[in-house]
Amino acid sequence: MSPSPRIQATTSSLLVVDLQERLLPAIDQGAEVIAHTVWLMQIARQLGVPTVLTEQYPRGLGSSAPQILAEADSAHRVEKICFSSHSESRLADTAVANRPQVVVCGTEAHVCVLQTVLDLKAAGKSVFVVEEGVGSRQARDKALAIARMRAHDIEIVSREMVAFEWLERAGTEVFRSISKNFIR
């Protein structure tokens, strides 16, 4: 029997790739990418979905944006130099390695996000990229990255698709709380 194609809170992790303070001003719709990612991080925390943050050369690009760090109290932080977060076993000791599904947000869609998700897919992970949670300096580069991801069977999803699949059902206290605070 094959695993469910739905994203499950008990089998997924949230990977936030390189949402760093010095890079974000150059990202097309960077403020929206941050807002959508923070929204998803907050829901992940409520549902017990582990979050992993990566930072590309933080000495040059700074650490993760303050809004991301404010939500990252229990997140595993990984510094890297390779564009793919999966290179050099950087994610080996994280929830990304230990869970079969990975939900991905971050920048830049056509560089670090793309290389990371291609490597995760090649490693056998089910990979879900949150369309409004990724960005590039140029909108065209993001569009090309999304197209290439789809061509390699990486699922492109919305933040609400992720949230409702993690929730699975209405009528629970956690659903009521998330619905009241996040679903508008």
Answer whether 79's CB lies under 8 Å from 44's CB.
Answer: no
d(CA 36, CA 38): 6
d(CA 79, CA 22): 15
Strand, helix or coil for residue 140: helix
Of 108, 98, 20, 25, the C-alpha closest to 64 is 20
- The token pair at 177 is 């709380």
Answer whether 11's CB lies under 8 Å from 100's CB.
Answer: yes
What radius of gyration do the chain's Cα atoms show? 15
What is the set of active-site residues?
18, 80, 112
